């Protein structure tokens, strides 16, 4: 039997990954039996959450139609309703996959938020006349904020710090892609992109180097190597 420190449950299935938060499970040999059930009671408020999400989706759908109509009737060369629509869709994504999703752990929630915010800023940049500020400035800042958030979560959840390695790798890959894009397109300002890449690399390498066997085991289990 294995135990998840993040969800505080025992898992009897023959798996190394928690079915709820995707954290690496620990063996319970030599540990005291936990009083919690094998699986926590989930879905008690799921129907209420689903109803709230459906109401929010309906309101957002109506708002998208109204904004599109107003933009069409008062069109002055700028499709500002698309920016509003992107913000509304981002709100729905946040509600659905972050606030009302108890199955995903912090790792996937943060990654989805990072990707959603990146897409939102890029869309805004594109609609108002693409100038590249979303890639050169917004993307690196978003990655840096995510890196700081990951570091804070690792310090707060010190017992499960190794479960954030996958998110660190994702930030390292994203920062590398952004940096390469800026260099290839000669966008000029590479300071922020370089800082994002450096901080992401430092955080990941520091975790791997100082994380002893737990960090290496986490990488092996995630990639089945």
pLDDT for the residue numbered 29 = 58
Residue 160 CA to residue 155 CA, distance in Å, equals 9
Opening angle at CA 23, ends 22 and 25, nearest 5: 115
Give the pLDDT band (50/70/90) at residue 31: very low
What are the residues facing 2 on neighbouring strands? 11, 27
In this predicted model, what pLDDT tens digit does every residue of 177-196 receive, in sequence order? Answer: 999 999 998 886 788 999 99
Token digits of residue 225: 């190597």
Give which of 170, 56, 57 is closest to 110, Cα–Cα. Answer: 170
Q: Indicate the helix (H) or strand (E) that contains 4.
A: strand 2-4
Token digits of residue 95: 């509600």
Query: Which CA distances in Å does 178 have to 69, 121, 151, 174?
Result: 36, 14, 21, 6
> Is the pLDDT at 36 greater than 60, yes or no?
no
pLDDT for the residue numbered 103 = 62
Residue 94 CA to residue 31 CA, distance in Å, equals 38
Q: What is the value of pTM for the model shown?
A: 0.70
Give the domain ranges of the chain: 1-42, 45-101, 106-225
Strand, helix or coil at 155? helix
In this predicted model, what pLDDT tens digit does every residue of 142-163 receive, in sequence order? Answer: 999 999 999 998 888 877 787 7
Give me the count of residues in the chain.
Answer: 225
Whether 98 and 49 have beta carbons less than 8 Å apart is answered as no
pLDDT for the residue numbered 52 = 80
């Amino acid at each position: 039997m294995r135990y998840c420190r993040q969800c505080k449950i025992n898992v009897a299935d023959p798996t190394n990954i928690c079915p709820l938060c995707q954290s690496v499970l620990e063996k319970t040999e030599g540990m005291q039996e936990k009083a919690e059930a094998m699986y926590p009671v989930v879905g008690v408020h799921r129907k209420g959450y689903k109803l709230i999400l459906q109401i929010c989706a309906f309101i957002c759908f109506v708002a998208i139609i109204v904004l599109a109509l107003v933009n069409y009737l008062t069109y002055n060369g700028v499709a500002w309703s698309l920016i509003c629509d992107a913000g509304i869709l981002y709100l729905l994504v946040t509600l659905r996959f972050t606030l009302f999703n108890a199955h995903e752990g912090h790792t996937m929630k943060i990654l989805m938020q990072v990707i959603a915010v990146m897409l939102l800023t890029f869309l805004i940049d594109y609609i108002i006349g693409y100038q590249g500020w979303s890639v050169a400035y917004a993307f690196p800042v978003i990655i840096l904020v995510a890196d700081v958030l990951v570091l804070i979560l690792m310090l707060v959840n010190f017992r499960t710090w190794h479960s954030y390695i996958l998110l660190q790798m994702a930030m390292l890959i994203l920062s590398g892609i952004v940096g390469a894009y800026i260099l290839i397109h000669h966008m000029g300002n590479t300071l922020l992109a370089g800082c994002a890449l450096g901080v992401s690399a430092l955080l990941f390498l520091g975790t791997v180097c100082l994380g002893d066997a737990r960090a290496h085991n986490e990488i092996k289990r995630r990639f089945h190597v």
